[in-house]
Amino acid sequence: MSNLIPEPAVKRMPMYYRYMQKLETEGRIYISSRELAELTGLTASQVRQDMNFFGSTGRQGCGYPVAEIRYDLGRLLGLDREQSFIIVGMGNLGMALVHYEPLAEKGFVLSAAFDNAEEKIGMCVGGIAIQPMNEIENVVKMQSVKLAVLTLPSNTAQEVGERLYQAGIRGFWNFAPVDLYLPQDASIVNVHLDASLEMLSYRMAHADLF
Amino acid sequence: MSNLIPEPAVKRMPMYYRYMQKLETEGRIYISSRELAELTGLTASQVRQDMNFFGSTGRQGCGYPVAEIRYDLGRLLGLDREQSFIIVGMGNLGMALVHYEPLAEKGFVLSAAFDNAEEKIGMCVGGIAIQPMNEIENVVKMQSVKLAVLTLPSNTAQEVGERLYQAGIRGFWNFAPVDLYLPQDASIVNVHLDASLEMLSYRMAHADLF
DNA sequence: TAGATTGTTAATCGATTAACAATC
DNA sequence: TAGATTGTTAATCGATTAACAATC
């Protein structure tokens, strides 16, 4: 199990997880692939394929057990335990992410924050004092943090990324509009906010084609 | 031309645009599909296919003219003109996006900001005073804005989305962790930050599989 | 049991890759 | 011209959809 889930199905996992959470709080016990398809805008067939990829425990004639699927998806996504993270670059976006509720709710815990600007060092965010970036290596090694949020200007992102990797960080949530090049065993997710807005702009300009 | 570019190619457009911009500032005149493939991590074949989808003007034996392709992609993406937008929900994330440089650089201009919290109304962000949400309809109609950024709690996003649509908004950049349901002619891009971090968490937990 | 719905195989569809002729 | 590289068609690959037998 957990074997080789195709990339497109992996991308759908957080959405399934979100709907399962919602259904669970609504007290729903079972849900059929047909109904789940309606909610998500997929086909029932695809929902069943995906559930099988995820190692489904559906019950024929009845549907999928909501609480169980929610739990299993959470485990697959690594949300069954707390994960500490550091954040590097305390500009507006960095500040906003530190306070972003859904992260704390999903078990992501801020363990340190870094910036190089004199006037920011020592400032308190989310109950934590901002430290200068030359402390990164110490902190990452001491606390063996594996996850970092990069809210940096594009021209320093690659360099800082490499330093973080050296220090032991293996997961990079990158908000700088550049692609990071790091060794194979680093996991990188780029958010590329500007690209996402450009896609919207494209769709608006060509809405007549749909 | 501009006819029916397949969705996966559309998703790659902002990346091509970014590299073309970079190459242009570096003074590069032509670039081959082979080299562009190296930069982007795609295959040369796919780059050529994509360029054809975009209505390419490549030159055999020589490559693609950087400045021209950059310009054409910009037009396709709707970045050849200013686009005004409003932002609804002035929490931390809303504040951060207002000041997010790349948006201004790409021609997106903030035209109004809204929130319902008493203490925020009248506050100045990005040179603009925050207004109460019952002003939305007036402002959107008067200025005929078409684009809105939604940085709202999930429980109000759908309702506010509908109001915005009624008022004339047709592009929704949604940061609430819910799916918006709006009429066909609305363009919606969901950012779903939490889902993006969950994907990273998944990859870290299963990095050995890659 | 009968009805509903999954699990799974096969068919279809679309995207990516390979190949090569066209041409700058 | 010869060399390089595009434009484009055909082959491959993988994901989605359809169909239906298994079974709760």
Write the pLDDT tens digit of every residue in B158-171. 999 999 999 999 99
Please give the C-alpha separations between residue A99 and each of B59, B91, B92, B199, in angstroms, as whole numbers.
Answer: 50, 10, 7, 20
What single-letter amino acid sits at A203? R
Give the sheet arrangement for strand A108-114, strand by strand.
A124-125, A128-131, A108-114, A83-88, A147-150, A171-174, A187-190
Closest nucleotide to the alpha carbon of B60, via C1': D6
Q: In Å, what is the separation between the CA of A59 and the C1' of D23?
A: 9
Q: Quote the crossing angle between the two packed helices A44-53 and A33-40, to the nearest 10°.
A: 100
Residue B1 sits at the chain A interface (C-beta within 8 Å): no
pLDDT number for residue A92: 95
d(CA B168, CA A106): 35
* Mean pLDDT score across all residues of chain B: 96
Quickly state the pLDDT bin for B1 (edges 50, 70, 90): very low
A16-29 in b/e burial notation, b at 16+ Cβ within 10 A?
A: bbbbbeebbeeeee
Nucleotides of C under 7 A from a protein CB: 2-9, 14-19, 22-24
Does nucleic acid strand C have an atom less than 7 angstroms from the CB of A43? no
Neighbours of B38 (CB within 10 A): 12
Mean pLDDT of A157-167: 98
Does nucleic acid strand C have an atom less than 7 angstroms from the CB of B44? no
Choose the closest CB to B13 out of A79, A91, A202: A202
Is A163's pLDDT higher than 90?
A: yes
Quickly state the pLDDT bin for B209 (edges 50, 70, 90): confident
Q: In Å, what is the separation between the CA of B76 and the C1' of D1?
A: 39
pTM of the predicted protein model: 0.95
Does nucleic acid strand D have an atom less than 7 angstroms from the CB of B38? no
Closest nucleotide to the alpha carbon of A46, via C1': D16
Is B210's pLDDT higher than 80?
A: no
Does nucleic acid strand C have an atom less than 7 angstroms from the CB of B92? no
Please give the C-alpha separations between residue B44 and each of A11, A71, B197, in angstroms, as whole numbers.
Answer: 26, 42, 31
Mean pLDDT of B137-151: 97
Residue B102 sits at the chain A interface (C-beta within 8 Å): yes
Write the pLDDT tens digit of every residue in A179-191. 999 999 999 999 9
CA B68 centroid distance within chain? 22
pLDDT number for residue B56: 87
Does nucleic acid strand D have an atom less than 7 angstroms from the CB of B43? no
pLDDT number for residue B208: 83
pLDDT number for residue A168: 97
What single-letter amino acid sits at A24? E
Residue A155 sits at the chain B interface (C-beta within 8 Å): no
How is residue A133 annotated by DSSP? G
Task: Please report the DSSP string for A100-124 in residue order.
Answer: -HHHHHTTEEEEEEE---GGGTT-E
Q: In Å, what is the separation between the CA of B210 and the C1' of D8?
A: 34
Residue A193 sits at the chain B interface (C-beta within 8 Å): yes
A131-152 in b/e burial notation, b at 16+ Cβ within 10 A?
A: bebeebeebbeeeebbbbbbbb
What single-letter amino acid sits at B124? C
Q: What is the largest CA-CA distance in chain B?
A: 64
CA B3 centroid distance within chain? 20
Q: CB-side exposure of A149: number of CA atoms within 13 Å?
A: 31
